[in-house]
């Protein structure tokens, strides 16, 4: 039987650069069609990403603790192979080193983007959901 | 010899020029550093996309997608990226020369060529040569702030899928290092050529014993390639624009540095002239005094 406790390498890359490169026990991300959980020895997979908060369970140094990292991912691709998960995101907001002012600026710019856009449009729904998720990220990771 | 007052005026003018060019050099240096850091950050993203692209084109069973096929429309599109502002040496002339090579080649082989350009100083040169761009896109700085790149990506992908163009190239100044920038043509479409271009710059193309066929794709291959192709094309266009902006600021930095040095040399020369004119005047005045005293005694 496979050893699921073996760590896997998790890398998050966005146009702003490499945001995370660490060893993880498990990773949960939002794909185009729902949530996907990845442990070690996962099958090779190339998957389109959706909008959501991903969770990285880090390898713990202290017993009975599972430190976690969160990041908001907006589109892109996840490439899983050889105990390695590469998240190539179109846009990503890391939940670590979060600054409330930065999140406020992001939410404000998001609101500006949808100013005058009909509420039924896809862009409006997407941006509104993204703003709500940014607030949720602050609550979870902040 | 010019009068003392004229020399002083010229020295003052040269000093003003020196201050302006020095300030412009500092502004360009700051912008160059900003773009350089941004380029380094984007390089990781570009490498990751290139690796997936490489996997895609090396699949044993060729993937059927319009962006991976070669069209036969006998028409090409070229986007020329000039400098957003002037005072950057022969930057735009280099772009123009390569663009003219494309025009000559198209006419030699009887192909139609659509020329597109960014809002730049290059437009003056194109206008002078009687070359009329089909469409003008926002300048480099605006594009890197998020205006226009999506439009360029979608326009040319649509044209390629509709079979209206065979190739889409970008003529721009590629940044290799701080001492080496060259004007280049990057083929963006067909996608196979773009991926070929990108993978040649990678150190490790695909260092794992796993092929495209072994991956579980979600959604299906056609949809994955559709999404992936747009991201790769968009990122490549952005990377070209970033290289062009980086080269522009570097070219302006070099041009302004040499202008500052020239102004400094001129100031030195004018100071020498001023001292010698002043000394001649003092000598003349002393001779007058001595002559006057001699006449009185």
Query: Considering only CB atoms, which residues of chain A are within 8 Å of chain B?
Result: 13-18, 31-33, 43-48, 76-77, 79, 81-82, 86, 88, 90
**Residues A72, A20 share a domain:** yes
Helix (H) or strand (E) segment spanning residue A70: strand A68-81
Superfamily name and number for B26-252? ATP synthase, F1 complex, gamma subunit (3.40.1380.10)
The verdict on residue A84 lying in a domain is yes
The verdict on residue A2 lying in a domain is no
Contacts of B215 in chain A (CB under 8 A): 44-46, 81
**Residues A88, A21 share a domain:** yes
Query: Which of A76, A94, A112 is the last residue in one of the domains?
Result: A94
Contacts of A81 in chain B (CB under 8 A): 208, 210, 215
The verdict on residue A90 lying in a domain is yes
Average pLDDT in chain B = 89
Q: Which domain holds residue A116?
A: 100-141
Q: What's the number of domains chain A is made of?
A: 2
The verdict on residue A3 lying in a domain is no
Asked if residue A2 has pLDDT above 70, the reply is no
Contacts of B48 in chain A (CB under 8 A): 13, 79, 86, 88
Asked if residue B185 has pLDDT above 60, the reply is yes
Average pLDDT over residues B76-82: 94
As for the ipTM of the complex, it is 0.84
pLDDT of residue B187: 93
Find the closest chain A residue to B40 by CA distance. A17
pLDDT of residue A114: 79
A67 neighbors A55 (Cβ within 8 angstroms): no
**Residues A136, A85 share a domain:** no
* Size of the A and B interface in Cβ pairs below 8 Å: 66
User: pLDDT band for position B47 (50/70/90)?
Assistant: confident
* CA–CA min distance B32, chain A (Å): 17
Report percent pLDDT > 70 for chain B.
96
CB atoms closer than 10 angstroms to residue A58: 18
- Render pLDDT for A94-135 as a digit per residue (tens, 0 to 9): 988 788 888 888 888 888 877 877 888 888 888 889 888 888
**Residues A70, A16 share a domain:** yes
Tell me the C-alpha distance between B45 and A28, whole Å: 21
Asked if residue A60 has pLDDT above 80, the reply is no
pLDDT of residue B24: 93
pLDDT of residue A67: 87
- Render pLDDT for B235-253 as a digit per residue (tens, 0 to 9): 899 889 999 999 999 999 9
Contacts of B42 in chain A (CB under 8 A): 15, 17
Q: Which of B41, B215, B217 sits opposite A16 (nearest CB)?
A: B41
Tell me the C-alpha distance between B52 and A70, whole Å: 25
pLDDT of residue B135: 92
Domain residue spans in chain B? 26-252
pTM exceeding 0.80: yes
Tell me the C-alpha distance between B89 and B242, whole Å: 19
**Residues A74, A35 share a domain:** yes
**Residues A89, A48 share a domain:** yes
């Amino acid at each position: 039987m496979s050893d699921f406790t073996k760590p896997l390498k998790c890398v998050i890359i966005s146009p702003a650069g490499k945001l995370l490169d660490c060893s993880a026990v498990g990773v949960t991300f939002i794909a185009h069609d729902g949530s996907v959980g990845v442990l070690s020895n996962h099958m090779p997979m190339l998957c389109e990403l959706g909008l959501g908060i991903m969770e990285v369970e880090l390898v713990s140094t202290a017993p009975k603790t599972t430190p976690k990292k969160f990041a908001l991912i907006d589109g892109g691709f996840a490439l899983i192979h050889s105990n390695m998960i590469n998240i190539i995101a179109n846009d990503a907001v890391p939940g670590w080193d979060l600054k409330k002012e930065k999140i406020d600026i992001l939410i404000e710019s998001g609101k500006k983007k949808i100013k005058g856009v009909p509420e039924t449009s896809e862009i409006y729904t997407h941006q509104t959901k993204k703003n709500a998720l940014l607030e949720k990220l602050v609550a979870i990771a902040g | 010899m010019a009068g003392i007052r004229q020399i002083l005026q010229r020295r003052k003018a040269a000093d003003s020029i020196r201050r302006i060019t020095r300030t412009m050099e500092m502004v360009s240096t700051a912008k160059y550093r900003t773009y350089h850091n941004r380029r380094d950050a984007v390089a990781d993203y570009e490498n990751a996309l290139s690796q997936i692209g490489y996997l895609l084109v090396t699949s044993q069973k060729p993937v059927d997608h319009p962006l991976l096929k070669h069209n036969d429309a006998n028409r090409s599109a070229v986007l020329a990226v000039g400098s957003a502002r002037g005072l950057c040496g022969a930057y735009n002339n280099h772009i123009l020369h390569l663009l003219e090579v494309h025009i000559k080649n198209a006419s030699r082989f009887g192909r139609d060529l659509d020329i597109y350009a960014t809002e730049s100083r290059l437009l003056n040169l194109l206008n002078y040569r009687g070359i009329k761009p089909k469409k003008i896109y926002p300048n480099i700085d605006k594009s890197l702030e998020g205006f226009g790149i999506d439009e360029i990506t979608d326009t040319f992908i649509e044209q390629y899928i509709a079979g209206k163009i065979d190739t889409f190239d970008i003529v721009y100044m590629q940044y290799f290092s701080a001492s080496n920038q060259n004007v280049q043509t990057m083929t963006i479409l067909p996608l196979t050529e773009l991926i070929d271009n990108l993978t040649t710059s990678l150190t490790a193309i695909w260092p794992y014993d796993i092929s495209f066929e072994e991956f579980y794709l979600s959604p299906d291959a056609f949809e994955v390639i559709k999404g992936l192709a747009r991201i790769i094309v968009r990122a490549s266009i952005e990377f070209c624009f970033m290289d062009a902006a980086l080269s522009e600021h570097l070219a302006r930095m070099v041009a302004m540095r040499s202008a500052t040095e020239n102004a400094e040399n001129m100031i030195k020369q004018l100071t020498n002239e001023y001292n010698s004119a002043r000394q001649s005047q003092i000598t003349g005045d002393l001779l007058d005094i001595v002559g006057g005293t001699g006449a009185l005694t």
